[in-house]
Amino acid sequence: MGHVIYLLVLLGCLGVTAPLELALKTKVYARWRKLLLAIAPSVGVFVAWDIYAIHTGQWTFNLDRMTGVILPGGLPVEEALFFLVIPVCAVLTFEGVRRLRPRWAPQTFSAAVREDSR
């Protein structure tokens, strides 16, 4: 069982946040194009960074806790999934909070500063 721990953690993260889609009607998955646009930059940067760190010996993985499936570039499949799953969970959580607290919706920086100075 030790070789799937990383996958189980990722599944747990999705299991906790995915119900927000149904319970709060966040429509994150329904707006999949926007979701991809939101997470693509972080996925690209961090996958490249991880591959670089692996190849320079700055980063390693405990393969006893992983499936052993290695993607091109030497990246374990669990690590690639991490960079997809965690941002999706973050977006689901953010949209859930926005749904429950509409007043917390983002505003421009200048509007926030004016409001704080009152």
Model pTM score? 0.80
C-alpha angle with apex 45: 44 to 50, nearest 5 degrees?
100
pLDDT class of 78 with cuts at 50, 70, 90: very high
Amino acid type, 10 = L
Condensed to tens digits (0 to 9), the pLDDT of residues 26-58 reads: 999 999 999 999 999 999 999 999 999 999 999
| Three-class secondary structure assignment of 6-48 | HHHHHHHHHHHHCHHHHHCCCCCCCCHHHHHHHHHHHHHHHHH
Q: Which residues pair with 75 in a beta bridge?
A: 71
